[in-house]
Amino acid sequence: LFTRSHPDFFRMLVTNEILGGYFGSRLMKNIREEKGFTYGISSNMPSFRRDGYFLIGTDVNKENTQQTLDEIRKEINILQTEPVSADELETVQNYMAGEFVGSLNTPFEIADRYKVILLDDMPADFLTTYIQNVRAVSPTDIMEMATRYLASDSLREVVVGGK
């Protein structure tokens, strides 16, 4: 996908969080809570010094594999075509702000974050503007990011086991 210095990083980060980045995400609600196909499903967008990628991971039994893939595609399509509600977006932004602040409790955690900023050539104000950047993301941004980066023709599905 891209690095944390990319202009779309924060918009895609929030998009990912809504889709599958935390326990209250859309994928968890649909595939775990409503369908009961899995104990856990998540999406992630690891970013490194020169690049990054997007992934969705879960474990389901063979009988539910195709329906799970269909539901994942459905949730992505909804993000692409329907604006996220203000309540859902605020909940996710608050969650992300709390997680971020909670990850900076000790001098070692803070030093580790600054190390990554230096090694990955990230903006010097990355930590001080993180929450502001997360809160700046709008429902329109979410639709745009899902359309741009989660287009079905640019995603690859890997199924291990049976389909």
Region 21-29: mean pLDDT is: 97
Average pLDDT over the chain reads 95
Position 161 in a domain: no
Q: Do residues 96 and 15 lie in contact, with contact meaning Cβ atoms separated by under 8 Å?
A: no
pLDDT at 163 over 70: no
Strand partners for 43: 56
Region 126-155: mean pLDDT is: 97
Q: Is pTM beyond 0.85 here?
A: yes
Q: Distance between CA atoms of 76 and 86, rounded to whole angstroms?
A: 18
Position 25 in a domain: yes
How many domains are contained in the chain? 1
Position 160 in a domain: no
Q: What CATH number should be reported for the domain holding residue 26?
A: 3.30.830.10
Q: What's the pLDDT score for residue 131?
A: 97
Question: Could you tell me the residue range of the domain that residue 21 belongs to?
Answer: 9-154
> What separation in angstroms does the CA of 61 have from each of 14, 40, 79, 160?
29, 13, 26, 11
In tens, the pLDDT along 69-122 reads 999 999 999 999 999 999 999 999 999 999 999 999 999 999 999 999 999 888
Position 99 in a domain: yes
Position 162 in a domain: no
